[in-house]
C-alpha cells in the first residue's frame, strides 16, 4: 500500500533481521574533546578525526553499505573561532586533494550536501570535480555534509517548490512528501536506516531533519577519533537486532505486512 504520502516517503521499509543498513548517517562528534584530553589544540583532534573518516569508509565498503552520509561541518559551525574554521577548511581541501583519486578507484561516488556559497572557490571547484569524476561509480555513495543544516535544506526545498507553484508549473495539491523529498539534498537516495552519533551527546544538531523520521538512532560516548571497526560492528549488530515497525504492530510485522 503506497497511498499515504508519509509512508511512501520512506523508500527503505525493510523490517526483517539480519540486515545491514543500506544507508548509514553519522555525526562525527568529539574531535575537540579528544584533543583536549591530550592537552593539544582542537585542530589536532580534527586531524585525528580525518583518519577515522578513512577507517569508516573502509568499513562501509567491506560491509556492503550502499550509502554513507557523514556530517563534517554544520551550518552553525561557521560561527566557531576563525582559526578553527580556517583549519577545518584547510584540512577539508587537503583531504579532497589526497583522497579523491583513491576513492574513485574504489568505486565511491561522492556527493557534497550543504550550502556551498560560503566555501572558497578552490574548494567548490574541487567538490564539483570530485562529483563529476565519480558520478558513474556505484560501490558506495559517500555524501559529505559540509556547511549543511537540516532546516536550511528544508527551506531551499520549499523555495524550489514555491517557485514552481508561482510559475504555474506545480499545483498546491501536487506538493507531496515525495516532491519534498526530491527537492532536498539527498534526493534519489533512501532515508538513513541507521544514525550514529559519537561523542556522548544525544541530539540531532540540525542534521537530516526530514530524512531521519524513521531512522534507528545509536549513540556512543566514544569520541570520533577513537572510533574503530569493532565499534561500528557493534552498532550494526545492535541495528540488526531491532524491530522496525514504522507505526505498525509487532504482529503485523511478524505476518510480513509492509507499511
Residues taking part in catalysis: 29, 77
Q: Applying CB under 5 A, does 26 fall inside the site for Mg ion?
A: no
Contact with ligand IPE (CB under 6 A): which of 21, 150, 199, 259? 199
**Eight-state DSSP code of residue 77:** G
**Of the two residues 13 and 36, which places its CB atom closer to Mg ion in the complex?**
36
**Of the two residues 198 and 215, which places its CB atom closer to Mg ion in the complex?**
198
Least distance from ligand IPE to the Cβ atom of residue 206, Å: 8
Measured from each CB, the residue nearest to ligand IPE is 32
Q: Is 8 exposed, middle or buried (0-12, 13-18, 19+ CB in 10 A)?
A: middle
Q: Which helix (H) or strand (E) holds 48?
A: helix 42-63
Contact with ligand IPE (CB under 6 A): which of 15, 56, 67, 71? 71
Give me the residues paired with residue 23 across strands: 67
The order of strands in the sheet holding 67-74 is: 108-113, 140-148, 67-74, 23-27, 194-197, 216-219
Q: Which does 73 bind (CB under 5 to 8 A by kind): ligand IPE, Mg ion, none?
A: ligand IPE
C-alpha cell at 46: 580534527
Give me the residues paired with residue 73 across strands: 146
Q: Applying CB under 6 A, does 15 fall inside the site for ligand IPE?
A: no
Q: Which does 63 bind (CB under 5 to 8 A by kind): ligand IPE, Mg ion, none?
A: none
Q: Which residue has the cell 527551506?
A: 155
Contact with Mg ion (CB under 5 A): which of 29, 66, 153, 191? 29
Q: Which helix (H) or strand (E) holds 154?
A: helix 150-166
Pairing of strands 67-74, 23-27: parallel
Q: In the stretch 81-120, what mask flags binding to ligand IPE with x, by CB under 6 A?
A: -------x--------------------------------
| Contacting residues toward ligand IPE, per CB under 6 A | 27-33, 71-74, 77, 88, 199, 201, 203, 205
Amino acid at each position: 500500500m503506497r497511498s499515504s504520502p508519509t509512508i511512501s516517503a520512506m523508500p527503505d521499509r525493510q523490517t526483517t533481521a539480519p540486515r545491514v543498513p543500506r544507508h548509514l548517517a553519522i555525526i562525527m562528534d568529539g574531535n575537540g574533546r579528544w584533543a583536549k584530553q591530550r592537552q593539544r589544540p582542537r585542530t589536532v583532534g580534527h586531524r585525528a578525526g580525518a583518519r577515522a573518516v578513512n577507517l569508516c569508509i573502509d568499513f562501509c565498503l567491506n560491509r556492503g553499505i550502499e550509502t554513507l552520509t557523514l556530517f563534517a561541518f554544520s551550518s552553525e559551525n561557521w560561527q566557531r573561532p576563525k582559526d578553527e574554521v580556517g583549519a577545518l577548511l584547510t584540512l577539508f581541501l587537503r583531504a579532497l586533494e589526497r583522497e579523491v583519486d583513491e576513492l574513485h578507484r574504489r568505486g565511491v561516488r561522492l556527493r557534497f550536501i550543504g550550502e556551498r556559497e560560503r566555501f572558497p572557490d578552490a574548494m567548490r571547484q574541487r567538490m564539483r570535480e570530485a562529483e563529476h569524476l565519480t558520478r558513474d561509480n556505484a560501490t558506495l555513495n559517500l555524501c559529505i555534509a559540509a556547511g549543511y543544516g537540516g532546516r536550511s535544506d528544508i527551506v531551499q526545498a520549499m523555495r524550489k517548490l514555491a517557485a514552481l507553484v508561482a510559475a504555474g508549473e506545480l499545483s498546491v495539491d501536487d506538493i507531496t512528501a515525495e516532491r519534498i523529498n526530491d527537492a532536498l539534498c539527498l534526493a534519489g537516495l533512501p532515508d538513513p536506516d541507521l544514525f550514529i552519533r559519537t561523542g556522548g551527546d544525544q541530539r540531532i544538531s540540525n542534521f537530516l531533519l526530514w530524512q531521519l523520521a524513521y531512522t534507528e538512532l545509536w549513540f556512543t560516548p566514544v569520541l570520533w577519533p577513537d572510533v574503530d571497526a569493532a565499534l561500528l560492528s557493534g552498532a550494526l549488530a545492535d541495528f540488526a537486532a531491532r524491530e522496525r515497525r514504522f507505526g505498525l504492530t509487532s504482529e503485523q510485522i511478524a505476518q510480513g505486512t509492509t507499511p
